[in-house]
Amino acid sequence: MNPLSLKSISFTCNACGTDGDDSPFGCTMCQLVVHEECVSLPLTLKTALHHHPQIIHTFHPQQCIKSIKKHCGICCREVDSKYGVYYCPDCDFVAHVDCSREYGDSATEIVVENEDEQSVTVDDQFMEPSIRVVREIEHGEERIIEEIEHFSHQHNLVLIDKVDDDLKCDGCMLPISNPFYSCASCNFFLDKTCIELPRRKKWQHHENQLILSWNLWKHYLYKCSVCKQVFRGLSYGCDVCVLCIDVRCFKSILEDSFKHGGHEHPLYLPAGRKNILRCNIGGRGFRPLLADDRESIPHCSGCCVSEESRVFFKCVVCDFKLGMKCATLPYKARHEYDDHPLLLTYINENDYQPSCIICEEDRDPKLWFYRCEECDFDAHPECALGKYQYVKPGEVVTYPKHPHPLVLVVKTEDYRPQACDTCGEPCDDLAVECTDPNCSFIVHWERRQCFNSLW
């Protein structure tokens, strides 16, 4: 490129899409006009704000990207596809040139020629597969995996294409969707998105490799570091700082931005929130460092509560913010008070006297709720789902100090809860109960002194 004029002129730079008011450089054959500093833009960059190893600059986004996003993957503001951007060759990520080079603490830098160098942004894909294919068929050019072994279960899982409304995925504890894999011998199900999760993953928000694991012991429950909820199922963990993220949350924060049914604009995880997910390299046994306790955390637009974990999504276009608990709510739920599925509802224009059918208390019409349109049945999310919506009761385990097998049960809605055999207090929460109909033994699960009496 050569200088077009020694005089200052007003123009829009084709390389970065921002206005200029100086002496530009240009190409008369291509009819491109660029800032002097944009002449030397690096062809490739790497950024900690995207999970693939590099992004590439182009003057012609529409020619290079088949399905270009309309929003920058870093600042989430609109991208003008008539001007130059950085894009990812492995997905539909795009970013403004200025954002790619200068945005906050994004740690953007030119990729070095040493191919052995690896950054924390590399997506290592299936370093160790979560499954072993047992049987597959070819349908035209499509390869269909019919039967698999998954590390989380002792039996083979078979592909199923018909869903029962009441089924939950044992991996993420969300309502299952087609297609999914089922165990013919027991009540165990995994949906396709959980099957496809790699056993080990290099993640852009964390310095150390994360490992996909399963709660091997049936009565042992984890607490997610991101949403702070108790769960049983698949999770990603770090061996260095004991970060534990259930796969519901992990799927939500895997992308740079995403679209949620409860809001019209794309949502993204702010750079300051990503720092919370960094590894505390001080040694084993320390959880990831959270933000300063004095920091003011905004209220979630879905529930009007400040997110306990301080990890939340934000919309740049408007003031909408979404905490992890609301971001990962199941789109449908079941409750014994209604025969139909309850659907997650964000607003009801005819909500004149909103109340919850389950607890019989008022609802805030501006907050999310579950609804059955056919029965005109509305409920608070916590009432519809219960306190332990991501725990699967019914698992049976035998303990040394009791002669019969014990089952994990949820007693939060018992009208007259039975007294714990260890402490004598009512068991009105999670508990383990004897399966023998002639034995009334029960102890608290959450009270360590009660639960430890079984060993």
At a CB cut-off of 8 Å and minimum separation 6, what does 323 contact? 300, 302, 303, 305, 306, 307, 311, 312, 313
Report the distance separating Cα 387 and Cα 400, nearest Å. Answer: 29
Which pLDDT does position 169 carry in this prediction? 92
Q: Are residues 391 and 413 in contact, defined by beta-carbon separation less than 8 angstroms?
A: no
Residue 310 CA neighbour count, 13 Å, CB half: 17
Q: Are residues 344 and 370 in contact, defined by beta-carbon separation less than 8 angstroms?
A: yes
Which pLDDT does position 65 carry in this prediction? 64
Which pLDDT does position 114 carry in this prediction? 36
Residue pLDDT tens, the chain, 455 long: 556 555 678 899 999 999 988 888 888 788 888 898 888 888 888 765 676 768 888 887 776 665 555 678 777 778 888 899 998 887 778 888 988 876 433 333 333 333 333 333 344 444 577 889 999 888 877 888 999 999 999 999 999 887 776 788 999 999 888 889 999 888 899 999 999 899 988 776 777 888 999 987 888 888 998 888 999 999 999 888 888 999 999 888 776 677 788 998 878 887 667 667 777 654 343 444 444 444 567 889 999 988 676 788 888 778 899 998 999 999 999 998 999 999 999 988 777 778 999 999 999 988 999 999 999 999 999 999 988 999 988 889 999 999 999 999 998 776 788 999 999 999 988 999 999 999 999 999 989 999 999 98
Give pTM, 2 decimals: 0.74
Enter the tokens of residue 190: 């995994």
> For residue 255, how many other CB atoms are within 10 A of its CB?
17
Report the distance separating Cα 139 and Cα 128, nearest Å. Answer: 27
Residue 191 CA neighbour count, 13 Å, CB half: 18
Q: 117 vs 47, 121, 338, CA distance in Å?
A: 14, 11, 57
Report the distance separating Cα 344 and Cα 330, nearest Å. Answer: 7
Which pLDDT does position 106 carry in this prediction? 36
Strands (DSSP E) found in 178-334 = 180-182, 189-191, 200-201, 210-214, 222-223, 230-231, 234-237, 244-246, 257-258, 267-268, 312-314, 321-323, 332-333
* Exposure string for 140-167, b = 16+ CB within 10 A, e = fewer: eeeeebeebebebbeebbebbeeeeeeb
